[in-house]
Amino acid sequence: MNGTSFHPSSHAAARKPAGGYSPSADICIVGNGVIGKTAALALAQAGLRVTLLAPAAAAAGPAAASGAEHASWDVRVYAVNQIARDLLSSIKVWDALDAERVAAVNGMDVTGDDENHPGHLVFDAYSAHVDALAWIVEDRNLNAALDAALKFSPNVRVVNGRAVSLRSDLHGVTLHLENGDTLDASLLVGADGGQSWVRGQCDIGLDYRAYGQRAIVTNFVCEKPHQGVAYQWFTATEGIVALLPLPGQRVSLVWSAPDALAETLMRQPAAQLAQHLGKYAAHALGALTPLEPEVVRDFPLTLVKPHAMTAPRVALVGDAAHVIHPLAGHGMNLGFADVAALLKVINGREQQRDCGDARVLSRYARARKEEVLLMQLATDGLARLFGTGLEPLRMARNIGLNLVNHLPVLKRRLMAHALGKRV
């Protein structure tokens, strides 16, 4: 899907399958997160009838947050790359975001963990010939824009409830809901997160590993301007620290800390956490001050590798299809690329095939296999490499960072991969 332009097309519109079977929707999507909503809008704007099944408790959605919450800064943010931005633009969501709460990432500054000879790697948008390496967007901002677009999408029917079983056959798939209702479609899309119910119902096996780390997220005001630079420190004993630029002199922390350290940090007030970060950030950003109101959250880090992204009449997208370490900031971007790939194969299917046709799903699986595998290998490999304190490995990884920084061709390839471009 690299370098793809996204243009909703009537070519994907509903086609009556052979045999007279006509489901109430072409596609049913399970999941009320960013990826599920994006998929619903993209497929509906391509002319398909879409049912979005959302949990009953989430009926009001993130857009219903109070005025005070809207004024605060969300601690959950995404580094959106060019592929994701193109997709969001194509469904008229990107321009609906509150632009004053979106920050462009103009550069990346990565530092290794050798006190005497630390590795150093720098990327910048100018060298990559792009306007920005990524854009930092709050979860709340993105959800609000998606919710508003869904209200005006005539091809999307939102159903609040919980599925208890699913059945697929040659003609389609049927979801049975807790309240006794049923939903049927040609294709079921599982966009229901890392603990996907849809994936479990399809008996798709998976490889799972806990990293023994927790991601701690919060926001700070920084003393010095960040100039749109995202900073990342790989440390020998404290995990991986990242400070991402927010609008103004604000930064968002994503600290992948070992479990024991994370427990200690979560017991500390935010001011003490800011002081702890000073040994990494003081030179570049000056003193850090907790952003009011103080909110610090954490969540466990895992690797989840399902053995397949499809099953009969079912396609998985987002975290339901893959969960990776956040050190590269591309977990959400993989999900957006899943949606773009699914949209492309459905748009390009033959006249006689419906959305859930086995041939269509096999094309989707092939389209995603390489990129997902590469990102899994890269993030897992880096997490393992920087998760050990062995001195020879510490030396090797810092030398490696410095080497890449001085090899323009390799550096350009890494930037292009992160941006979603072919080189």
Radius of gyration of the chain from Cα atoms? 22
* CATH class for the domain made up of 10-419: alpha beta
Query: pLDDT by residue (tens digit) across 144-165?
Result: 999 999 999 999 999 999 999 9
Query: pLDDT by residue (tens digit) across 308-359?
Result: 999 999 999 999 999 999 987 889 999 999 999 999 999 999 999 999 999 9
106, 82, 111: which is closest to 94 by C-alpha?
Answer: 82
User: What is the rounded average pLDDT for all residues in the chain?
Assistant: 86
Domain-wise residue ranges, the chain:
10-419
Q: What angle do CA 320, 8, 170 make, to 5 degrees?
A: 55
Tokens matching residue 226: 């960040």
Query: How far is CA 171 from each of CA 120, 160, 317, rounded to the nearest angstrom?
Result: 55, 25, 22
What pLDDT is recorded for position 234? 87
- Is the pLDDT at 18 greater than 50, yes or no? no
**In angstroms, rounded to a whole number, what is the distance separating the alpha carbons of residues 12 and 19?**
20
**In angstroms, rounded to a whole number, what is the distance separating the alpha carbons of residues 313 and 358?**
7
- Residues 90 and 8: beta-carbon distance below 8 Å: yes
Task: Name the E strands within 235-287.
Answer: 240-246, 250-258
Write down the residue that tokens 């709340």 correspond to: 140
What pLDDT is recorded for position 60? 45
- pLDDT confidence band for 392 (50 / 70 / 90): low
pTM for the model stands at 0.88
Give kind and range of the element (H or E) at residue 346.
Answer: helix 331-347
**In angstroms, rounded to a whole number, what is the distance separating the alpha carbons of residues 158 and 139?**
20
75, 86, 124: which is closest to 104 by C-alpha?
Answer: 124
